[in-house]
Chains A and B, each alone.
Chain A
């Protein structure tokens, strides 16, 4: 038997990893022993979706295409974090960063491209790194660094008004930053759009909150250790504390050039994807084919398919002849597709345009010899031919209808349907990234893939840039004739048990299930799903109160040790300071504890309390004892705190005694478990110094000695003014309605659903009817249940400081002793 051929792939990105996947899934793939060298320390992820991660529509875990385990499963050796440093093609070997040599029989170079850095003063530090606050946007690490920095940044500048720059700008606007986009050319997307189209786009982008600076050339970064602004060629400056460089990319060709391969802009490849030396191939963004380099995924994946076929089938004569490209801008609320030429090439080319700038619509088609040669499609004209259909006409070079208006406007021939995805021919390509046809999608639906997720997984449609997802959904609905299987799991209270919250509550009560393990036994075949434990523990405590059978292993660590875990495994301790009112004696005790236990950080919190941060687990009980103060519950899904303003005793504007009210609220409801954390505030006048209208629950004193009660306010990643539940006259009434709301929220909100999402979901009118007008006749019961929860409350600190629940509850690390050989028998 002949030995396996050694195939080495340099690069584990969109091109390299796709090639490997294509090879292992084909007959003939088994003849290769595959090694992949990846410079990044991960498996393979979908780079196109990084802009989605930045915008918060995807979390990093969701964009992985192949985790490390995939490589193991397919016997592919992945050297993650190991860049290739040298290529010696005469002796068929590649050197890796650690100095070792990797021999190959065949080599594929898929090194991709790198960001092009503009020459800006101060941008690059002496050590070669970018100045703090400036980032490129190419890798997952870049993306995570930007996100980490953006959480404390206020004003971002994006340099570069291309596709990536626009996507980054839109993402950061969604993160709540003030965003400025600086572009050297007079038009946005000047490579893809003409001036008129750019102007319409600029208007749309500005409406989304991005501040545009066009024809503006950046010359310098301001700041020595840390960026604080930019300077432009006209002498003006812009203050900013975050800057993303998105000024284009260049193919990574250093390795190939040094090895003596033919390189122009990219590594030169032929129609068989071979380089200028034997047994070496290249594909993707690093490669140049017929004078063209590609920066979009569809051509790269097409190259991967063709090369995989040639490598696994020696008889294959498949050729790559170049790709016609179309692209979509992935910015939510903006519908832009471009393809081919943006301007006519000669006077015989036809131009068909329709523009309605105030509505954000701009359509332009370039027609040559009756065929579509290019198009700019911005904005949506309801009923018009879908962009996907025009892309199809363009990619296949089909003849166009002689009445060109049919390309842009709805036809009135009684055939509204004729223009939807339903009327596309079966061979029409729906997913341009993966080359999935309408026919393939319909076949998968017929084969039983009746939910969107199952369908996408089976066909790979919409798993590239994701922009065809709505069309896949349309086809699904069409082919199922309404029998779409909605993924029911989204309605389950916890993933392991297929019941909604009301159903689950009913079963738990009926069968008297009082512990988390009892629920698993009864409803999940004893399978203890770890992702379901904390949600069940919360629900059972709410249902059973004092009769709940507590199992500590079902709690998150914070609730096992009554403190908030920090990134280094230490904890933070926040004692309760009712209504934010403290005494010299209390402060002295806190100060003594901070000194005695060498607490690394003492911090005043936003909830008017004092946080002792960086405490080791084993110090917790002694600290609680020395403090002699109750837990502030700053670590759990429960009533947290009630912030107050000065109120009427001292403040010259105060209309109501907000301080006394806040203290009463906090004493009554402290520590009661909720579906998510609940933070309150009381304000003594409508100036609202304690920000009560943006709390989960807030009370605001108004003229006439009355109190307004607000519910569902937020001032976190989202800002939402609370809705007015009712206006009452006394402190006691405030306590009553707040408690009633809390109990209703406890019973009806999903696990981890914040009050503001809950209030929006059920609606304030509904809440007023149920909680104020008592339309369902449940108010008395709600009041009774919350009273039971108040009565069941015990301060966990004072309970467990003296008497830990288990002997090792607060052990940071236990010691072990070596056993002499044989002694263990």
Chain B
């Protein structure tokens, strides 16, 4: 399979095995000094976004997800998980990160350092 080469300054992190995220939920991960939210949909798609809601800093990984959307647990602001685009609110878009599984089922995420 072709893989895009890492761009300069990009760092790849191993977030451990996929089983750490139950199906349909999200978890927050600490990448050195940055927090990201990683979501595993019930249809086994992976998404990664910034960890905190741009509205009031709610922990997005604690939100309910479904149909490619996350709902922030604090004030129910919604965002598209693929693009980070706000849905029905005027917050800035979420940062999103490329995320995938390796052959052993470990989650790999790439972020610009």
Q: What residues make up the interface of A, taking CB atoms closer than 8 Å to B?
A: 42-43, 45, 61, 64, 67-69, 517, 527-534, 551-557, 560, 565, 567-569, 805-808, 811-819, 821, 824-825
Contact = CB atoms under 8 A, between A and B. Distances in A.
Contact of A43 (B25, B65, B69, B90): B90
30 contacts: A61-B77, A64-B90, A68-B86, A68-B92, A69-B93, A528-B24, A528-B41, A528-B66, A528-B67, A530-B70, A533-B64, A533-B66, A534-B64, A552-B22, A552-B24, A553-B24, A556-B73, A557-B62, A557-B63, A569-B58, A569-B62, A807-B19, A808-B22, A813-B51, A814-B15, A816-B29, A817-B14, A824-B14, A824-B102, A824-B108
Contacts of A554: 24, 64
Nearest to B69: A530
A46 B12 CA distance: 44
Given A67-B88, A528-B66, A813-B30, A818 B20 contact: no
A530 B108 contact: no
Given A528-B42, A556-B73, A814 B29 contact: yes
Contacts of B63: 557
A473 to B, nearest CB: 24
B10 to A, nearest CB: 9
A10 to B, nearest CB: 19
B31 A553 contact: no
B33 to A, nearest CB: 12
Contact of A67 (B27, B73, B86, B108): B86
A527 B67 contact: yes
Contact of A816 (B15, B23, B74): B15
A530 B66 contact: yes
Interface of B: 3, 6, 11-16, 19-25, 27-32, 35, 41-42, 51, 56-59, 62-67, 69-71, 73-74, 77-78, 85-86, 88-93, 102, 108-109
A529 B35 CA distance: 26
B108 A819 contact: yes
A819 B30 contact: no
A248 to B, nearest CB: 28
A808 B20 contact: yes
Nearest to A532: B66
Contacts of A808: 20-22, 27
Given A533-B64, A815-B29, 5 more contacts: A530-B70, A565-B59, A808-B27, A824-B12, A825-B3
A805 B24 CA distance: 14
Contacts of B6: 821
Nearest to B70: A530
Given A529-B66, A813-B29, A45 B90 contact: yes
Contacts of A529: 66-67
Nearest to A570: B59
Q: Which of B15, B73, B90 has the most CB of A within 10 A?
A: B90
A748 to B, nearest CB: 25
A45 B13 CA distance: 40
Contacts of B27: 808, 811, 814
A532 B31 CA distance: 32
B74 A567 contact: yes
B67 A68 contact: no
A758 to B, nearest CB: 23
A68 to B, nearest CB: 5
A556 B19 CA distance: 21
A531 B70 CA distance: 9
A676 to B, nearest CB: 16
Contact of A530 (B3, B67, B74): B67
Nearest to A66: B90
A565 B30 contact: no
Contacts of A557: 62-64, 73
A18 to B, nearest CB: 16
B55 to A, nearest CB: 10
A555 B22 CA distance: 13
Contacts of B102: 824
A816 B89 contact: no
Contacts of A825: 3
B28 A812 contact: yes
Nearest to B76: A531
A667 B32 CA distance: 47
Contacts of B73: 556-557, 565
Nearest to A552: B22
A145 B23 CA distance: 39
Q: Which of A69, A551, A811 has the most CB of B within 10 A?
A: A69
Nearest to B15: A816
B14 A816 contact: yes
A61 B70 contact: no
Q: Which of A527, A534, A569, A807 has the most CB of B within 10 A?
A: A569
Contacts of B35: 813
Contact of B25 (A42, A552, A567, A816): A552
A69 B14 CA distance: 32
Nearest to B77: A61
A611 B35 CA distance: 29
A660 B21 CA distance: 45
A64 B30 contact: no
Contacts of A532: 66
Nearest to A825: B3
B90 A68 contact: yes
Given A528-B66, A530-B69, A814-B29, A67 B24 contact: no
Q: Which of B27, B51, B78, B109 has the most CB of A within 10 A?
A: B27
Contacts of A565: 59, 62, 73-74
Contacts of B64: 530, 533-534, 553-557
A82 to B, nearest CB: 13
Contacts of B108: 819, 824
Contacts of A818: 11-14, 32
A533 B41 CA distance: 13
A816 B65 contact: no
Contacts of B109: 816
| The 8 A-B residue pairs with the shortest CB-CB distance in the complex, in nearest-first order | A553-B24, A530-B66, A528-B66, A43-B90, A557-B62, A816-B13, A569-B59, A813-B28
B66 A69 contact: no
B91 A530 contact: no
B29 to A, nearest CB: 5
Given A813-B29, A818-B11, A824-B12, A567 B56 contact: yes
B17 to A, nearest CB: 10
B65 A553 contact: yes
Contacts of B67: 527-530
Q: Which of B11, B66, B109 has the most CB of A within 10 A?
A: B66
Contacts of A812: 28
Nearest to B40: A553
A822 B12 CA distance: 10
A153 to B, nearest CB: 21
Contacts of B90: 42-43, 45, 64, 67-68
A816 B92 CA distance: 27
A64 B24 contact: no
Contacts of B14: 816-819, 824
